[in-house]
Structure 1
Amino acid sequence: MATEPSIQVEGSDPWLRVWRDIVKRATPGIFVYPIFWAVIAASSGFHHAHPELSWSVIAALSGISIVRLFNVLHLKRLRTEKRSAWQVVFWAGVVAHSGIYGSMFALSLLSGNGQFSLLMAFSGAGIVAGGVNSFSPRRNLAYAYAIVFLLPGILVALWSQNLWVEGGFIATYLFYMWNLVRQQNAEYWVSLNNERTLELQSRTDALTTLNNRRYFDEKLTELCHLSSRDHVHLSVLVLDCDFFKAINDKYGHDFGDECLRQIANVLTSNLPRATDICARYGGEEFSIILAGTDLQGAQLVAERIRASIEKMDVRYRDIQTHITISIGLVSVRLSSFDAGLPERLFKYADEALYLAKEQGRNRVVSSVASSALRAGKPGVEK
């Protein structure tokens, strides 16, 4: 069976987004199965003729609905690396609902109860169409749902020589659903790729391909929230290329742009963790967020970056030179969040950067932000 289309852009895990979409789409229909069955069984007289079977189906469908509701509530909260087992439960619940309701539809073909058969056919067609639309982001799930639902009816029609016409209709409907899944799946992934491409472009600096200032500010606020909630360290680094104006004046802006690109490459190579955020903040200034990193760890990262850039030969056309950077950083264990916290953290790191410039450049200066936050004034130390 064909696999899903691939995500064409970089960024956060696309499958987490896909599953969130599926969960959102599927949630409204979780209790449709027991409700429809109860109404149809009662109104068509099937419940009076077969009370034990009718109650058993209601109990099974209701139980599966409760499990699926519990499952989707957890899927909405789970992080990427913890979702696999819950996805298996999701698949099992979907297939179980489909199989039971589809089997009752097949039974209605043999029941001799015209009203029961008609109601099950109409409700089944609507439920299958809705399920296919809900699960189409995962093509295999949508295929499995439609097949499990409709196959019992096709098999019953093949077994009974009097139901060839009904079987032909069901098979045609399955073929139609199969093609509808392919179409909706393709449209969904095209739309998702376009959306993620636009999102990536909106948060990316065109020159360096690093994140831009807007994205950095958003992530800093988000990580301040998370770090405050978990009471963990958060480190912010601000970096500035030394004597960059002189480089531009001497070698031209093209060479200056190349310097910025090569600095960006060094930053990227020295930040291997997916949780590290690096951005071009403006001009020749860069900024970094190190989540869960204390002062000692942030100083090691900053010094590694500084030394790597100092050793780097910047080459562009027939020009070669060396550059250096100054780095200011702040690292604190956060215990509470307020609206001004992200701005204050960046301010402390930026003031430490200015001290690095005043003390001779090409160095790392750390801000004593833990006491500064309590006193309301930034204190710094080398």
Structure 2
Amino acid sequence: MNPDQPMKDLPEEFVQTRLRLWRDVITRARPGITLYPILWLIISASAGIMFAAPLLAWSVMGVLTVASVLRVIHMRLLERCLEQGFALWRCSMYVVVLTHSTCWGAMFALSLTMGQADFLFLMAFSSSGILAGGSNSFSPVKSLSFAYIISFILPPLVVSIWLLDSWAESILIATYLFYMLNLAGQQHREYWASLRNEMILEMQSRTDALTSLNNRRYFDEKLNELCHLSSRDHVQLAVLVVDCDHFKAINDNYGHDFGDECLRELGKILSDSLPRATDVCARYGGEEFSIILAGTDLAGAELVAERIRERVAQHKIEYLGASAQLTVSIGLTSERLKQYQPGLPERLFKRADVALYRAKQDGRNCVRVADPQMVAEDAEMDVLLTRQLR
């Protein structure tokens, strides 16, 4: 993933990775934001620059302080700029960061020409620490890390080449530049290797190993999240529970390997029947699957359920010379959520599960909707809970 790619061009699954990336940059860089004006105040006072050239000293102090304040404000705007204005946020990140590095690099270059040993020593000593810390802070974004290093070291390198007679200093600074760029590249690779391993573990923790669908943990988290969002926006939310009919008999007659293949095929049919990126499909346990359809009314949910039921009934499972025809029973509910209450996700799932039980009682291979009376009773319970909380 390219961290500089516009947010609108990213697939949905990469958005959270992008958010994590820039959060890490902000977290890593936060300790050094106020370091620049503080160190400059100490160095300029100790080396006498504050008294010998007060206009220069206080001007630099002002630039560093303003840049620090802007960086603090800027890092608080990340969440608001994810949907709109992210490109501007990213560009301004480069501007405020490079303001710090260029300004400090310019003062380091100035120290090379002033002939004050104390000033040169303090600038060289502090610059080496600041540069190493900044390189590590911005390592998640390689372009930002490289730009920071180059803008920091380029001013003293140019001054050493054009204004100083000592080539030794030029070679030393150039060598340090290449070393820091190589170190930044290594830090970048290590960061992404660590992040990639973390993402793999996170994916494994929320993915069913057999069907490659989401697992129950992810489904429960997503249902709770969508209940919050749907309640806030007062929109419909549909929950479907799908169960493979006579699955125990399939395992007994054909063996567990064939049963596993049936579950894999069923999971593929379910995921192929849900084209929207916002739809959630998970293996809830055993031969039971669960689906969330955000923004879908009862009629729309029934159409999806019937489509799934028909596709499963028309699909013949063939594996290792054996074949079988599957059917599924589906229970569903769809509600316009008005206010989130504790236990709301569980009640929604229970309604769909009870509807599934009715489908089993009615002969299987059918779709049943949650009893309106049960929905009405739950709605009354939500009203009572709301009044009690008030």
Match of 1:279 among 269, 279, 282: 282
What is the aligned-residue RMSD (CA, Å)?
2.3
1:81 CA drift (Å): 7.2
| Structure 2 residue 368 is the aligned partner of structure 1 residue 365 | yes
Match of 1:260 in 2: 263
| Structure 2 residue 96 is the aligned partner of structure 1 residue 90 | no
Match of 2:155 in 1: 152
Match of 2:165 in 1: 162
1:77 CA drift (Å): 5.1
Gaps of 5+ in 2: 4-11, 383-390
Q: 1:222-301 counterparts in 2 under 5 A?
A: 222-301=225-304
| Structure 2 residue 342 is the aligned partner of structure 1 residue 345 | no
1:12-42 deviation digits (Å, cap 9, x = unpaired): 5433322221121112222222222222223
Match of 1:200 in 2: 203
Mapped partners of 1:83, 1:293: distance in 2: 30
Match of 2:388 in 1: none
Q: 1:95-110 counterparts in 2 under 5 A?
A: 95-110=98-113
Mapped partners of 1:291, 1:282: distance in 2: 22
1:239 CA drift (Å): 0.5
Q: 1:45-194 counterparts in 2 under 5 A?
A: 45-76=48-79, 78-79=81-82, 83-194=86-197
Match of 1:20 in 2: 23
Mapped partners of 1:39, 1:230: distance in 2: 53
What is the TM-score when the length of structure 2 is the normalising length?
0.88
Aligned pair in 2 of structure 1 residues 143, 197: CA closer, same or farther (>3 Å)?
A: same
Match of 2:380 among 359, 370, 375: 375
1:223-247 deviation digits (Å, cap 9, x = unpaired): 2233333333322111101122222
- Secondary structure at the aligned position of 1:84 is classed as helix
The answer to whether the 8 Å contact 1:23/1:75 transfers is no
What is the TM-score when the length of structure 1 is the normalising length?
0.89
Mapped partners of 1:107, 1:274: distance in 2: 56
Match of 2:9 in 1: none
- Secondary structure at the aligned position of 1:133 is classed as helix
Mapped partners of 2:332, 2:285: distance in 1: 17
Aligned pair in 2 of structure 1 residues 196, 242: CA closer, same or farther (>3 Å)?
A: same
Deviates more, 1:200-209 or 1:310-319: 310-319
Report the residue type matching 1:372 in the other structure: E
- Secondary structure at the aligned position of 2:301 is classed as helix
State how many pairs are aligned.
370
Aligned pair in 2 of structure 1 residues 319, 348: CA closer, same or farther (>3 Å)?
A: same
Match of 2:41 in 1: 38
Aligned pair in 2 of structure 1 residues 85, 302: CA closer, same or farther (>3 Å)?
A: farther
- Secondary structure at the aligned position of 1:330 is classed as strand
- Secondary structure at the aligned position of 2:100 is classed as helix
Deviates more, 1:101-110 or 1:161-170: 161-170
Q: Percent identity?
A: 56
Gaps of 5+ in 1: 5-9, 378-382
1:343 CA drift (Å): 1.3
- Secondary structure at the aligned position of 2:78 is classed as helix
1:163 CA drift (Å): 4.1
Mapped partners of 1:172, 1:354: distance in 2: 73
Report the residue type matching 1:371 in the other structure: A
Aligned pair in 2 of structure 1 residues 121, 231: CA closer, same or farther (>3 Å)?
A: farther
Q: 1:1-16 counterparts in 2 under 5 A?
A: 12-13=14-15, 14-16=17-19
